[in-house]
Amino acid sequence: MNFGILGSGSWATAIAKILTDNGNTIHWWIRNAESIQYMQKRKHNPHYLSGAYFKPDQLLLNDEIIDVVKHSDVIVLAVPSAYVASAINTVPKEAWVGKKIISAVKGILPESNKLVHQYLADAFQFPLTNYFTLLGPCHAEEVAAEKLSYLTLSGIDKNTTDAVAQYFKTEYINTIVNTDVIGVQYAAVLKNIYAMGAGMAHGLEYGDNFLSVFIAACANEMTDFLQKVCVTPNPSSSHQQNYNSSVYLGDLLVTCYSLYSRNRTFGNMIGKGYSVKSATLEMNMVAEGYNASKCIHKTNEECVKATMPIASAIYSILWEQLPAAEGFKQIESFLE
């Protein structure tokens, strides 16, 4: 099985480490030719997870995305959601035929307001049967440090997903298989929004007690949304999801609490009075929850119609200039 990775951020680098630790040689698309030269010489990513070292003979680095797609059987898409379309639009439709795609994207494509599989189907007629997701709860930094972590792979066929999951199982990675390929993507989007809210609460100097009540309410709000959205193409399993399991509640908890969470960090800055622009410049990283808050707001208004006062308040803080303190006074009233 020939693996290709598209993207060079921290999560892409962590996935590359997992696959190469399992003995795989990987094709890896990195946009910046200077970064490729650096990695070939220094054996680690110059910008992310610098403690993760690679054997040069396991890396086939390339700044031509078409070449990586062409030579790979399984392509891991690990580009921030805001850049997915611009990254893959140069690849002709016929190049994707017969490939498997594993999406490690934790967001909605903001220009089209689509999940990754929806965009792939519309742009390339890519079949859902060959589409999988790779989600948490997991932090790239802990993978790099080889701390025991859990990954959830989702696909509509359990046997095929089981086979794919074996390539990601290591001494420090346990894999879980799930068939709710649509629901897990929405959960990954929502947990980033709520993690921004958790960061805002910390920046506003709310305490641990409030935060615990806040996250419990977020979990309930997320469940309501997932139950109302079309969470699975398999009607027989649509009422069998356990939203307290790791890829739903577990990922929500770790993203809200962990200091590694860029969404929590972004929200913390907003709570302390930073503008969105200032927080973005300060972090120099993409916080998926910012665009996600607008995408989910639109999706919920147009078709899902779930009760989402917390996500709506976070959207208003980020996109309608509602002061964070005022927004959280509203949230307080929702929690009573």
Instruction: Answer whether residue 326 shows pLDDT above 80.
Output: yes
pLDDT of residue 202: 97
Structure tokens at 40: 């070939």
Distance, CA of 214 to CA of 240 (rounded, Å): 26
pLDDT of residue 107: 86
Confidence class of residue 235 from pLDDT cuts 50, 70 and 90? very low
- The residue type at 38: Y
Structure tokens at 149: 């972590």
pLDDT of residue 59: 96
pLDDT of residue 236: 41
Instruction: Answer whether residue 238 shows pLDDT above 60.
Output: no
Distance, CA of 65 to CA of 6 (rounded, Å): 7
Structure tokens at 203: 């920046």
The pTM for the full model equals 0.93
Distance, CA of 88 to CA of 216 (rounded, Å): 38
| Burial of 281 (C-beta count, 10 Å sphere; 0-12/13-18/19+) | exposed
pLDDT of residue 241: 85
Domains and CATH numbers, the chain: 3-178 (3.40.50.720), 183-335 (1.10.1040.10)
Closest-CA residue to 150 (of 132, 172, 133): 172
Confidence class of residue 201 from pLDDT cuts 50, 70 and 90? very high
Per the DSSP assignment, residues forming a β-bridge with 6 are: 29, 77
Average pLDDT, the chain: 93
Instruction: State the average pLDDT over residues 44-70.
Output: 95
Percent of the chain exceeding pLDDT 70 equals 96
Confidence class of residue 230 from pLDDT cuts 50, 70 and 90? low
pLDDT in tens, 139-164: 999 999 999 999 999 999 999 999 99
Q: Calculate the alpha carbon distances from 173 to 72, 133, 193 in Å.
A: 23, 16, 26
Cis peptide before 323 (omega within 30 of 0): no
Neighbours of 336 (CB within 10 A): 5
Residue 273 contacts by C-beta under 8 Å, 6 or more apart in sequence? Answer: 203, 324
Instruction: Answer whether residue 72 shows pLDDT above 90.
Output: yes
Q: Which helix or strand (DSSP H or E) is residue 295 part of?
A: helix 288-299
Distance, CA of 7 to CA of 27 (rounded, Å): 11
Instruction: Answer whether residue 24 shows pLDDT above 50.
Output: yes
Instruction: State the average pLDDT over residues 240-269.
Output: 93
CB 295 within 8 A of CB 113: yes
pLDDT in tens, 289-322: 999 999 999 999 998 999 999 999 999 999 999 9
In the chain, beta strands by DSSP E: 3-6, 26-29, 59-62, 74-77, 100-103, 131-135, 149-154, 173-178
Distance, CA of 233 to CA of 128 (rounded, Å): 9
pLDDT of residue 204: 98
Instruction: State the average pLDDT over residues 25-44.
Output: 95
CB 105 within 8 A of CB 81: yes
pLDDT in tens, 206-228: 999 999 999 999 999 999 999 99
